[in-house]
Amino acid sequence: MSRPTKPSTPSIPTRRAPTAAESTSTRPARAPTPEQIAVRAYEIFIARGAQHGRDQEDWYQAENELRLGRQ
């Protein structure tokens, strides 16, 4: 009587650690948190004279500024 064979497990590709140059220049920055975006959007709202009705515009501007690392 023969023994059943074990199914082969697929190989898992390994990833190498990024070099110092890669980790700073080619890696995308972390996305800003909703809290960070909200704070910056409020700052934009205040700087604009606290005019209501442009909350989405303020949010998107804040998100873009934080992603690009400028304020």
Residue 31 has phi, psi (to 5 degrees) of -70, 140
The domain ranges of the chain are 30-68
What is the pLDDT tens value at each position of the chain, 71 positions in all?
666 666 666 666 666 766 655 555 555 567 999 999 999 999 999 999 999 999 999 999 999 999 998 65
In angstroms, the CA 17 to CA 30 distance is 18
In angstroms, the CA 19 to CA 30 distance is 18
In angstroms, the CA 71 to CA 50 distance is 18
Please state whether the predicted TM-score (pTM) of the whole model is above 0.85.
no
Burial of residue 29 (number of CB atoms within 10 Å: 0-12, 13-18, 19+): exposed
For position 13, what pLDDT does the model report?
A: 64
For position 30, what pLDDT does the model report?
A: 79
